[in-house]
Structure 1
Amino acid sequence: MWAITIGLIPALCWGVLPIWIRKFAGGTFRQQLIGTTVGITIVAAGLTWGLHLHCQWSAALLFFASGFCWSFGQGGQYYGYEKLGVSTTMPLSTAMQIVGNSIIGGLLFHEWSGLPDILLSLVMLLIILFGVALTNQRLHLQAGQARYYLILAVSTIGYWGYSALPHYAQVGSNLNGFLPQALGMLSAALLIGATKTREVWRPATGKNVSSGIIFSAAAATYLVSLSLNGMVNAFILSQLNVIVSTLIGGFVLNEFIHGQARRSVFGLVILLTGATGLVML
């Protein structure tokens, strides 16, 4: 039960984060990404110093690469918030992340054992995808939006690397790799921001440091959850943030179209059912 509780903390923090960014911090996706990674790096440095965390160079490089991948995934998601809205972006991003990371963890890292386990897991993934589809009535492409969906889909690959690479690091706790991971996030964010430097160095970037602090609570506990729950379960638990972000995005940011609220709640219940089944396998 304690491991599951730890695994749910990232879901809460990551669920609140999109609303915080859109409602309070603001800015462009580049400003959001750099501000977030600066905040994460500050928290990671503080934890590393306070808890005397350390890891070998080989492990540190893997965590750095993990963070580097994350920034491309998160940059695409921030871009989606800007162009498609939170309640549209989150279910789609969540579906692609769950499918990719579950298959990687289940098959590549052998967290699914035996054919019956694999088949049941795939059924649960289909249930999750069905629930995600029901949460959104705007899945059809509108004129000029195809490239936004494409960017979101391609950038999601970065999240797969973010979750998978720490698995190869030989450390007592994944939390030891938090600072190298944060430095990887910051490096990639600065690389992305270099395409429009004048846009980046604005007050909105500084405001988004607060977004990084919120994210850090999720990222640190997610690393602990990876050790306690394994990649598949830790990731599925963390992605329940879609429930928080979709509902708040729909109601607080008024992104639900007419009649969508009831359908979205029903879809989220189905998604939760599939996720619960997957964790319990």
Structure 2
Amino acid sequence: MGILLALVPAIGWGIQPLIARKVGGTPANQIVGTGLGALLIGLIIWLIKGSVSGTAFWLSFGAGFLWSLGQVGQYISFTHLGVTRTMPISTGLQIIGTSLIGVLAFGEWPGNTAKLIGAVAILLVIIGVALTAITDHKGQGATSIGYGLSILVPTTIGYWAYGALPKMIHAAGIQLFFPEMLGIFVGSLIYALVRTKGAALGQKETWQNGFIGIVFGISSLAYIFAAQSAGVATAFVITQLNVVVSTLGAMLLLHEGKSHRELRYTLVGLGLIVIGSMMTATL
């Protein structure tokens, strides 16, 4: 059952970029829609399971708030890099950053053997990310890729915080859910107010993108139960298949073209990212 539950976020998180690109709208429309949908799921869980309070609430809220930073960075990058480049790079950066934070801040990977295996895993992920970023396009295409990376790389810090802050809280994951979703909504709202002076709130594309947030909320909820049932390591490894779903889905459904050389490097890169994430999860 745990493995089946883990397939929900693997598919759900994988199709989120595809929904965003199909629905369209600006990054402001997409992030506010995501926040609205996530808050809806969060409210339902709050009514059923309740929530943490005090410091735990605000740490969870902060994790969600910073996640919105990482997500808006992804949405902006989609317009410059496309889904097929953004998702492998973003996933790789998340694995690298989260792993290093776990080692340095929480004492994970104890022992020299574990650290050696972890270092090899991170190296594989780095190589995988580099391979997926290879392009045959020159000139303006290269400029667009450079700009996209300048947005994606620093905003990934938000994803790192989302993974790290809950580790400081001794509470059931389900009770952290509502403040995290509330933080996502508030973060998305502030972005829309700053970026569009609130105009995005009244645009239909924003509400249409609410489906992304619903998918995200359900997928995140499934991950909590999958980790409880199958273990964190197993659930994490399975959910990393989302990068395969999003990348291949973008090529098939969004028709993001790649040359034979780019496709070959992308497939090898995806394989290395998945292998690297599997190695870090077993330590």
Match of 1:155 in 2: 155
Q: Which runs of 5+ in 1 are unaligned?
A: none
Q: Does the CA-based 8 Å contact 2:89-2:132 persist in structure 1?
A: no
CA distance in 1, matches of 2:183, 2:2: 27
Q: Does residue 250 of structure 2 align to residue 253 of structure 1?
A: no
Change (3 A) 1:79 1:233: farther
Partner of 2:176: 177
| C-alpha displacement of 1:58 | 1.8
**TM superposition shift of 1:71:** 0.4
Give the drift of 1:144: 5.0
Query: Kindly, what percent of the aligned residue pairs are identical?
Result: 34
| Aligned counterpart, 1:276 | 278
- Equivalenced residue count is 276
Question: Pairwise CA RMSD of aligned residues?
Answer: 2.3
1:70 aligned partner: 67
Shift in CA distance, 61/227, structure 1 to aligned 2, threshold 3 Å = farther
Asked whether the 8 Å contact 1:28–1:82 carries over to 2, the reply is: no
> How do 1:104-119 residues align onto structure 2 when only pairs under 5 Å count?
104-119=101-116
Alignment check: 8 A CA contact 1:88 1:138 kept? no
Alpha-carbon separation, structure 1, partners of 2:254 and 2:85: 12
CA distance, structure 1, for counterparts of residue 51 and residue 93 of structure 2:
33
Q: Deviations over 1:174-225 (max 9, x none)?
A: 1111111111111111110012122442000010111111111222233445
The 3 A distance-change label for structure 1 pair 162 and 223 is: farther
For residues 73-112 of structure 1, the aligned pairs below 5 Å read: 73-112=70-109
CA 1:138/1:77 → structure 2, altered by over 3 Å: closer, same or farther?
same
**Which residues of 2 match residues 56-67 of structure 1 at below 5 A?**
56-67=53-64
- Give me the whole-angstrom Cα distance separating, in 2, the residues matched to 1:266 and 1:144: 24
Partner of 2:26: 28
Q: Is the 8 A contact 1:87 1:256 kept in 2?
A: no
Task: Specify the alignment match of 1:211 in structure 2.
Answer: 212
- Partner secondary structure for residue 151 of structure 1: helix
8 A contact 2:64–2:180 mirrored in 1: yes
Aligned counterpart in structure 1 of residue 265 of structure 2, from 248, 263, 266: 263
Q: Distance in 2 between matches of 1:247 and 1:208?
A: 21
**Is 2:142 the partner of 1:146?**
no
Structure 1 residues 96 and 60, CA, compared in 2 at 3 Å: closer, same or farther?
same
CA distance in 2 between counterparts of 1:52 and 1:153 reads: 35
Contact 2:96 2:125 in 1 (8 A): no
Contact 1:233–1:278 under 8 Å retained in 2: no
Q: Against the structure 1 CA distance between its residues 129 and 240, is the aligned structure 2 distance closer, same or farther, given a 3 Å change threshold?
A: farther
1:47 to 2:45 alignment: yes
Q: Distance in 2 between matches of 1:116 and 1:210?
A: 44
Q: Which runs of 5+ in 2 are unaligned?
A: none
Question: For the Cα contact (< 8 Å) 1:128–1:275, is it kept in 2?
Answer: yes
